[in-house]
Chains A and B, each alone.
Chain A
């Protein structure tokens, strides 16, 4: 099959393939590590020691999908309605707050929040205002 204007058509097709097949060659030779979250901060270990459980405000699957929504709701309740009712988990009270609540247990931002966010290239704007907890060098 003779192709007329073959050169130009070839260049076009190469661009087409280069674009659409790019994920196949750009990832070549790169190890794919799926994010493994760490739930072993001192606070969580303490919780497990005291209660025999690791538990968050909602079940894991729900938290995985909806944590951003929960945080958003808390923000609205606290800032707009002044509702600062504490959150109770396994009899322990926590502030309704990212910085002073969530991050109490999940003090390992790098091994917790960032893991998935970086993997998914999500850039939450939490940390534009909040201060991330200081992390111990591991």
Chain B
């Protein structure tokens, strides 16, 4: 149900783009209007969500410590997993964001004959890393459509990505890696019972969407080719704010573009915001130095406490009898 809903939602989106362009000839709507709206939702929505997080303070210093604390001078601190300085935090965050450090710790807990055993479980980490990095490289590669003079580092990335020189046009390794990784991430949601149990439609939808985007991209690069110069004309028209609709671009491009627009617009409304959120996670981005330097809670307020005076009033006689000093005889 959750899977089918998401799957057909993506199919429907593709059909909408197909019908809109092929039958209704709404090239301007799908090629210009919707992309502008999607980009605006993405950027403004993303900023809004981040500011919303920012509007809530971090009242307490709550890093999850994953190594030895800073203490006596002769005890070796784990400065990355339990940082007490800003530089340590930066390294910890960099490892988290770039290499998925925490996911790398993943274990598989199994019960064998009444005993628990812990096995390696690196596939999720590997697929996650492969997916995110290939997505990033593909994203960067696409800048050749958006920049009049493509910077040399983008050409270098492209060269490296296609250095196997398989087929024409040259096969990008990231295309294969991305499709493989997304497929793995989808299949584990289907076949690992616990992951299946926790998965929502909101988990399958972005997977199908990305699968749709990647597939349509692959199809139009390798199989059902589009008028690529026209694609760049359209893209350049968008980013120079002088939109044009070149003739004969090919419907596959519009499907690809519409799915991307959906992803962009869906992004700020969804769990995909983990892209921004990971930077703000207080269990990771704070130094563990709360005994060294006082952390301020902006909404700290005075509370009612049971004072010593009240306490002594309750127990004065008993204290005196036991020889415990009191304030008032």
Contacts and interface: CB of A to CB of B under 8 A. Distances in A.
Interface string A55-99: 000000100111011011000000000000000000000000000
Given A4-B55, A13-B47, A120 B248 contact: no
A127 interface: no
Contact of A32 (B42, B144, B148): B148
B188 interface: no
Interface stretch (B103-111, B124-132, B211-219, B222-230): B222-230
B15 interface: no
Contacts of B298: 4
Contacts of A12: 50, 276, 279
B86 to A, nearest CB: 11
A2 B43 contact: no
A30 B51 contact: no
Interface stretch (A17-25, A46-54, A102-110, A129-137): A17-25
A22 B151 CA distance: 12
B70 interface: no
A135 B245 CA distance: 34
Given A23-B143, A23-B146, A24-B239, A66 B51 contact: no
B58 interface: yes
Given A4-B298, A30-B148, A32-B240, A123 B159 contact: yes
Tell me the interface secondary structure of chain A in the complex: helix
Interface string B48-77: 001100111110000000000000000000
B85 interface: no
Interface string B202-243: 000000000000000000000001111100110011011110
A27 B148 contact: yes
A66 B165 contact: no
B225 A2 contact: no
Contact of A61 (B150, B158, B242, B248): B248
A1 B239 CA distance: 32
Interface of A: 1-6, 9, 12-13, 16-17, 20-24, 26-28, 30, 32, 34-35, 61, 64-66, 68-69, 71-72, 116, 119-123, 125
Given A13-B50, A16-B276, A61-B248, 16 more contacts: A1-B51, A4-B58, A12-B50, A12-B276, A16-B50, A17-B47, A20-B42, A28-B240, A32-B237, A34-B233, A65-B226, A65-B228, A119-B232, A121-B155, A123-B158, A123-B159
List the 7 shortest-distance A-B pairs measured between CB atoms, nearest first: A23-B146, A121-B150, A65-B225, A23-B239, A3-B54, A121-B144, A68-B168
29 contacts: A4-B57, A12-B50, A12-B279, A16-B46, A16-B50, A16-B276, A21-B43, A23-B143, A27-B236, A30-B149, A32-B236, A32-B237, A34-B229, A34-B233, A34-B236, A64-B227, A65-B226, A65-B227, A65-B228, A66-B225, A68-B169, A69-B168, A116-B229, A119-B232, A121-B144, A121-B150, A122-B169, A123-B155, A123-B158
Interface of B: 42-43, 46-47, 50-51, 54-58, 143-144, 146-150, 154-155, 158-159, 165, 167-169, 225-229, 232-233, 236-237, 239-242, 248, 276, 279-280, 298
